[in-house]
């Protein structure tokens, strides 16, 4: 078996350390937590990873197997990685489970995002993690309307896995295998188009967590640095970037607290960005925002910032990250943000919400912008010999157990 090959999960939980499926002894220098079989893991994803009864919670609760933290946030694109970047020390992590495919896929399908923007954000994520020895795991969680194969977004994520020798868990293959027998007829798979039903998500989580210790142990931490062109992404909070005297406040949820600049009139503000950067994503409290936002640098875009959650109580926050219709390069070290009304926009964040009415004041509760700078060289490491399809490693007996549990309502 070639070095770094991940063996399939055993069909029986009684496998011993001397059996063929057991991982080899960890190499010298392996962190103590990993030597004990408990890799250090961060989960960073969107609403499927936030669900209290979902797959990520299963990973977090498997304390005998992993040490896991969860930095997920719903209503976000893959720019979430840059937003959360400062909260993660990848040198202290073994694995990072990345769940952006659902939202990236629906944004692509609605023409609110571009494929090359998604790929660039993933490329930056690979650089940030692998050069510090942390192996990203691409969680391709399914969208019901993209079944059976996941369409463009699954193909894009698989291609990234192939290019950068990454492991991935294909949620479409998971559902195809789970539903391969007639006994699953009538079992609910989804709560809605984008969210797995909790019992199904739990079964997915159990399969994933059983693979993680062996996966972490097979990283080649001595792999040489490679180079790729791409972008470096950063999050720029609005507080330091906007000098005008707008209202400043802080809102918090159970998941996160964030400082906001609250603009409640038809006006404009200059957002300071370093030379060479272009804005890619808007970070805002969508529960207190409704405006036609024009972002102007050497290019201008118009985004209808709207949400069915607008009008939330003052203490409640609906934080999200929405991609700019196109990246907006700074001009003279600034991007001009114009908060106003109008019906002509490039993209809307919610098709069910009408434009700002004449009797309403435009509002934007701005947390900041995600922006990127082109890099001639992005360092990264191939921590595995090649891409690894994790779902394919799950034995049929494990799927049979999942079907029995789902039929029994457990």
Task: Show pLDDT as tens, one digit a residue, over the chain (410 residues).
Answer: 333 334 344 333 333 333 333 344 445 454 444 444 689 999 999 999 998 889 999 999 999 999 999 999 999 999 999 999 999 999 999 999 999 999 999 999 999 999 999 999 999 999 999 999 999 999 999 999 999 999 999 999 999 999 999 999 999 999 999 999 999 999 999 999 999 999 999 999 999 999 999 999 999 999 999 999 999 999 999 999 999 999 999 999 888 999 999 999 999 999 999 999 999 999 999 999 999 999 999 999 999 999 988 888 888 899 999 999 999 999 999 999 999 999 999 999 999 999 999 989 999 999 999 999 999 899 999 999 999 999 999 999 999 999 999 998 65
Specify whether the CB–CB gap between 254 and 275 falls below 8 A: no
What is the rounded CA–CA span in Å between residue 138 and residue 342? 39
**Burial state string for 336-359 with b = 16 or more CB within 10 A and e = fewer than 16:** bbbbeeeeebebbbbeebebbeee
End-to-end, the C-alpha distance of the chain in Å comes to 37
- The SS3 assignment for 34 reads helix
Kindly give the pairing relationship between strand 195-196 and strand 277-285: unpaired
Residue 52: the pLDDT is 84
Q: Compute, in degrees rounded to 10, the torsion defined by CA atoms 340, 345, 350, 352.
A: 90
């Amino acid at each position: 078996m070639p070095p770094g090959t991940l063996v399939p999960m055993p069909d029986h939980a009684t496998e011993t350390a001397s059996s063929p499926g057991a991982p080899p002894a960890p190499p010298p220098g392996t962190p103590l937590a990993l030597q004990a079989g408990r890799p250090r893991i961060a989960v960073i994803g969107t609403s499927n990873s936030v669900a209290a009864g979902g797959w990520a919670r299963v990973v977090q609760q498997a304390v005998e197997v992993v040490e896991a933290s969860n930095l997920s946030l719903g209503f976000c694109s893959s720019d979430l990685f840059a937003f959360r970047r400062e909260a993660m020390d990848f040198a202290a992590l073994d694995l990072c489970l990345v769940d952006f495919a659902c939202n990236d896929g629906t944004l692509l399908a609605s023409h609110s995002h571009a494929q090359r923007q998604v790929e660039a954000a993933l490329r930056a994520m690979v650089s940030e993690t692998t050069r510090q020895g942390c192996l990203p795991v691409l969680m391709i969680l399914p969208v019901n309307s993209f079944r059976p194969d996941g369409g463009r977004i699954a193909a894009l994520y698989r291609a990234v896995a192939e290019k950068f020798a990454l492991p991935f868990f294909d949620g479409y293959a998971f559902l195809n295998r789970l539903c391969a027998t007639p006994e699953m007829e009538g079992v609910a798979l989804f709560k809605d188009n984008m969210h797995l039903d909790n019992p199904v998500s739990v079964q997915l989580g159990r399969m994933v967590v059983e693979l993680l210790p062996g996966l972490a142990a097979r990283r080649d931490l001595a792999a040489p640095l490679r180079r790729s062109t791409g972008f470096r992404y950063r999050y720029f909070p609005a507080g330091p970037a906007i000098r005008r005297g707008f209202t400043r406040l802080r809102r918090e949820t159970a998941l996160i607290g964030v400082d906001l600049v609250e603009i409640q009139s038809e006006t404009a503000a200059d957002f300071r960005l370093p030379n060479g950067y272009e804005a890619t994503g808007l970070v805002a409290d969508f529960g207190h925002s409704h405006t036609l936002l024009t972002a102007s640098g050497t290019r201008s875009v118009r985004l209808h910032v709207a949400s069915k959650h607008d009008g939330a109580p003052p203490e409640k926050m609906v934080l999200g990250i929405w991609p700019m219709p196109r990246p907006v390069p700074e001009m003279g070290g600034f991007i001009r943000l114009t908060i106003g009304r109008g019906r002509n926009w490039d993209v809307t964040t919610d098709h069910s919400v009408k434009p700002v009415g004449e009797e309403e004041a435009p509002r934007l509760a701005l947390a900041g912008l995600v922006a990127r700078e082109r890099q001639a060289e992005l360092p990264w490491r191939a921590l595995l010999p090649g891409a690894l399809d994790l779902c394919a490693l799950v034995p049929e007996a494990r799927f049979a157990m999942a079907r029995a549990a789902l039929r029994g309502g457990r």
